[in-house]
């Protein structure tokens, strides 16, 4: 009977992390490797790891826990952890559940024997961490996971707080939210409401540890129909109470358009943070081009959770490997400004596509594209940058008479980051940093930027304008968002 109940729960939890998918190819030489002989393994788990080639001794270790029906191979490339590991230079440990333990390969976050220090799956994962530290001398360890893996992340942070410097729970649940199958159902939805003290006591009772405690990043979609969004607040209450802080956010802002909050301790350090992904259902946020490959429950919502989590942990302070990043333009900030030939009476254009050149009204159009380049490493040496645009239509030949379509670069925003009339004449950081050769419809690629003075801490904006104002109707429409991309190669 108990096995039947657990299997029924496993079917419910199968939606927690999607189906196994074949990883998309990623440009790296290293590969996922299974490791055996890592300890007594009381939880009967499998151990996989991804280690970037030439990883320096002592670099950090990140444990990434998959969700139900997934595997290590389905939770390395898809959520972006391989890409981030290559860029920020850390080792990646990917424990894998077996169907013999759980019908749908969910980590058993609701079983007391697997969520208690010194036993079951929690101990198996701790033994894997010990093996990684022995093999690579990892100086610090971090843990994250999606849904059932997120719930097991809470388990590891509570039962082995001395092992993990920080963690990140994605669409997960608080520690000891459930110790029975029936509780697991109600915990997932509608959620369990306890006081911060009650939640904190559960963590404090999990070990004899008295601090310091791991910092925690918490991510959840506001439209999650599998694990209720209310669990984000319960996790905040649990971990702010453990850290001895109140439940009033010290920072409340937006990142990539999504609400972000941070809770600081008495020393001013952010020890708990949350990302509420507005309108997102159940899954892990990714942003292809920054990180990740879209898959069931790996959701393209224009923010890379793996990247932001690793930065919250401070992993971007280490050495980075050479790479190329692709940034889609920010559609809500993109636009175009039209003015008289002498630049007078500028106004923001209202057509859905961006215009550059002379329109049918005789006005001159300049397009502005905005990119969030804040995820570039602060110490990156940029060796190359270029722009790719796509034109759905146009008219005439604005390049006639040896005219050039110039790209001005602003490190930051020209004025407000959204397009406004003053952008037409605003002086850029670097004028005419590159050109776009003549094109009709479809994609076009610019010359290389020189110098590539992109903003590593915020936005980079590009203004496209013709060097000479066309004297007849001659223009190109440009698409924005994913069809206008800035590429940056760095070392």
Point out the residues that are catalytic.
Answer: 147
Q: How far apart are CA 293 and CA 99, in angstroms?
A: 25
Comparing CA positions, the residue from 62, 42, 208, 204 lying closest to residue 113 is 42
Q: How far apart are CA 294 and CA 134, in angstroms?
A: 34
Query: Beta strands 354-358 and 364-372: pairing type?
Result: antiparallel
Comparing CA positions, the residue from 331, 308, 91, 125 lying closest to residue 217 is 308
Q: What 3-state class would DSSP assign to 172?
A: coil
Residue 157: both structure tokens together: 């942070």
Which contiguous run of DSSP H or E holds residue 128?
Answer: helix 120-136
Q: How far apart are CA 100 and CA 109, in angstroms?
A: 16
HEC letters along 461-485: EEEEEECCCCCCCEEEEECCHHHCE
Residue pair 299/286 in contact by the 8 Å Cβ criterion: yes
Q: What 3-state class would DSSP assign to 215?
A: strand
Q: Which residues pair with 62 in a beta bridge?
A: 92, 142
């Amino acid at each position: 009977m108990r096995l039947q109940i657990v299997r029924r729960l496993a079917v419910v939890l199968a939606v927690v992390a999607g189906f196994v998918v074949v990883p998309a190819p990623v440009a790296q030489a290293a590969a996922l490797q299974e490791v055996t002989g890592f300890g007594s393994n009381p939880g009967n788990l499998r151990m996989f790891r991804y280690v970037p080639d030439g990883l320096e001794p002592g670099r950090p270790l990140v444990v990434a826990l998959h969700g139900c029906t997934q595997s290590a191979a389905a939770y390395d490339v898809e959520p972006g952890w391989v890409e981030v590991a290559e860029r920020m230079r850390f080792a990646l440990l990917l424990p894998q559940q077996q169907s013999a333990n759980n019908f749908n390969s969910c980590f058993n976050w609701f079983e007391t024997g697997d969520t208690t220090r010194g036993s079951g799956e929690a101990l198996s994962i701790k033994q894997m961490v010990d093996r990684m530290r022995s093999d690579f001398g990892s100086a610090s360890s971090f843990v994250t996971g999606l849904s059932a893996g997120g719930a097991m992340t809470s388990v590891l942070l509570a039962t082995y707080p001395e092992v993990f410097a920080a963690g990140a729970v994605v669409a997960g649940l608080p520690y000891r939210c459930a110790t029975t199958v029936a509780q697991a159902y109600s915990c997932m939805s509608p959620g369990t409401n306890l006081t911060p003290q009650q939640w904190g006591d559960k963590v404090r009772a999990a070990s004899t540890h008295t601090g310091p405690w791991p910092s925690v990043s918490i991510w959840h979609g506001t439209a999650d129909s599998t694990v209720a969004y209310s669990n984000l607040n319960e996790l905040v209450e649990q971990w702010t109470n453990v850290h001895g802080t109140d439940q009033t956010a010290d920072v409340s802002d937006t990142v990539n358009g999504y609400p972000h909050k941070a809770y600081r301790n008495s020393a001013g350090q952010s020890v708990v943070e949350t990302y509420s992904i507005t309108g997102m259902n159940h899954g892990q946020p990714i942003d292809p081009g920054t990180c990740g490959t879209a898959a069931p429950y790996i959701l393209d919502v224009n923010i890379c959770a793996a990247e932001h989590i690793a930065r919250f942990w401070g992993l971007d302070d280490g050495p980075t490997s050479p790479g190329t990043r692709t940034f889609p333009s920010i559609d809500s900030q993109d636009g175009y400004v039209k003015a008289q030939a002498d630049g007078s009476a500028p106004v923001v254009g209202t057509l859905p596509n961006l215009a550059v050149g002379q329109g049918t009204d005789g006005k001159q159009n300049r397009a502005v594209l905005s990119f969030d380049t804040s995820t570039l490493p602060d110490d990156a040496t940029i060796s190359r940058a270029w722009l790719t645009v796509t034109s759905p239509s146009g008219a005439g030949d604005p390049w006639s008479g040896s005219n050039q379509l110039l790209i001005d670069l602003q490190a930051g925003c020209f004025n407000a980051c959204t397009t406004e009339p003053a952008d037409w004449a605003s002086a850029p950081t670097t004028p005419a940093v590159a050109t776009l050769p003549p094109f009709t419809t479809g994609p076009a690629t610019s010359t290389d930027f020189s110098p590539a003075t992109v903003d590593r801490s915020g936005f980079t904006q590009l203004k496209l304008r013709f060097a000479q104002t066309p004297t007849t109707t001659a223009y190109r429409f440009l698409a924005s968002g994913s069809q206008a991309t800035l590429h940056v190669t760095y070392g």
